[in-house]
Amino acid sequence: MRPIPLRLIALLAASLAAGCAAVPPETEPEARAEYFETNDPLEPLNRVTYVVNDAFDIMLLRPAAEAYRLFLPQPVRTGIGNVIDNLLLPKTAVHQLLQGKPGMSGKALARFAINSTVGLLGIFDFASDIGLEPQFEDMGQTLAVWAGTTNGGPYIVLPLLGPSNLRDVFGRGIDMATDPWAYLGQGDTVRSLRVTRTATQVIDTREQLIEPIDALRRDSLDPYAALRSVYQQQRARDILDQSPPRRRFFDWRFRPPE
C-alpha cells in the first residue's frame, strides 16, 4: 500500500480546520455562551452540507413526494406507512430492553404481533385501537441512556441524511449493521425488496413533511438554525421519553419550531 502523501494529510487537515467555527473570546460572554449551547463547532461546513441537501430535496425528493401524493390516495399511503412503521418495531423492542424498559419492549412486541397478523402484515393499525400506541427507539437513544445525558456531542449535518450529532452518527451505523431485515435471505429479489423498502420509507416520510418543510423554509429567518434547534430539542425529548406517540421515525428531522 502506498503511503499517504504528507501534502494530502495537510490539505485534509486544513479543510477540516476551515470548516470549524472559532470559539468566541471570553470578552464576548453572550456569543461564547451561544456557541457552547448550540454545540455546532462545524457550522461553516454544516451549512454547506445543508445547502447541498436542500438543493437535492428541492430538485428530487420533494417532486417525488408530490408525485407519490398525487398518484396514491390517502388510504393507500396510510397502509404503506403502517407497514413501514411495523417493520421498525422489532428493533424498537430490542432497544427498549437494552434501555431497561422491559414493559415498553413487551408492548412494542405485542403491537408488532397484532398488526402483523390481524393487521395483515401491518397494513392496518389495530394495535393503536386497543391502546398500544407507536413509539420508536434507535441506537442513538440507547447510547444516550447508557451515558446518562441528552448531550450527543457536536451537531453534524450528514450528506443526504440531514441533521445528526456525533453519538447519533455511531448509533446510525450500528442500527444499519444490525438491521434484522438485512439478514433475511440473499439474492437479487431480496436485495430489490430492501432497496424498495428504503426508497419507499424515504418518499413516504417526505410526503408527510411537505407542508412542515415548506413552512420552515418560508417562515424561518434562518432555516438552518431553526432545523438545528428542532433536531436537538426533539432528540432530547425522545431520549427522555417525553415525546407523544408518533407514527413516523423521522418526524423530528424537519418539524418546524412551534
What is residue 94's predicted lDDT score, i.e. its pLDDT? 94
Q: What is the Cα–Cα distance from 231 to 165, expressed in whole angstroms?
A: 10
What DSSP state is assigned to residue 61?
I
Phi/psi for 209 (5° steps) reads: -105, 15
Spatial CA neighbour of 78 closest among 207, 232, 236, 240: 207
The verdict on 167 and 66 lying in the same domain is yes
Please tell me the predicted confidence (pLDDT) of residue 244. 66
What pLDDT shows up at residue 31? 57
CA distance 243 to 258: 14
Q: Domain tally for the chain?
A: 2
Instruction: Collapse the DSSP code of 157 into the 3-class scheme (helix H, G, I; strand E, B; otherwise coil) and give the result.
Output: strand
The model's pTM is 0.80
Question: Is residue 96 assigned to a domain?
Answer: yes
Grid coordinates belonging to 105: 419492549
**8 A C-beta contact, residue 245 and residue 134:** yes
Q: In 10 A of CB 8, how many CB atoms?
A: 9
Q: Are residues 123 and 244 in the same domain?
A: no
Q: What is the DSSP letter of 184?
A: S
Cell, residue 206: 417526505
- Of 137, 156, 185, at which residue does a domain stop? 137
Write out the three cell numbers for 81.
Answer: 406507512
Q: Where are the beta strands (DSSP E) in the chain?
A: 155-158, 162-165
Domain co-membership, 81 together with 205: no
Task: Return the amino acid letter for 208.
Answer: Q
- Decide the pairing of beta strands 155-158 and 162-165: antiparallel
3 state DSSP class of 162:
strand
Is residue 180 a part of any domain in this protein? yes
Q: Are residues 205 and 256 in the same domain?
A: yes
Of 118, 137, 156, which residue is a domain's last? 137
Are 65 and 100 found together in one domain?
Answer: no
Same domain? For 50 and 94 the reply is no
In a structure prediction context, what are the per-residue pLDDT tens digits for the chain, which is 258 residues long? Answer: 444 444 534 444 444 445 566 656 555 556 556 666 788 999 999 999 999 999 999 999 999 999 999 999 999 999 999 999 999 999 999 999 999 999 999 999 999 999 999 999 999 999 998 999 888 999 999 999 999 999 999 999 999 999 999 999 999 999 988 887 777 777 777 778 888 888 999 999 999 999 999 999 999 999 999 999 999 999 999 999 887 665 443 333 333 333
Residues 79 and 202 in one domain: no
pLDDT value at position 180? 78
The HSE-up count of residue 77 (CA atoms within 13 Å, CB side) is 19
Domain boundary among 121, 137, 153: 137
User: Are residues 99 and 217 part of one domain?
Assistant: no
**Domain of 106, in residue numbers:** 72-137
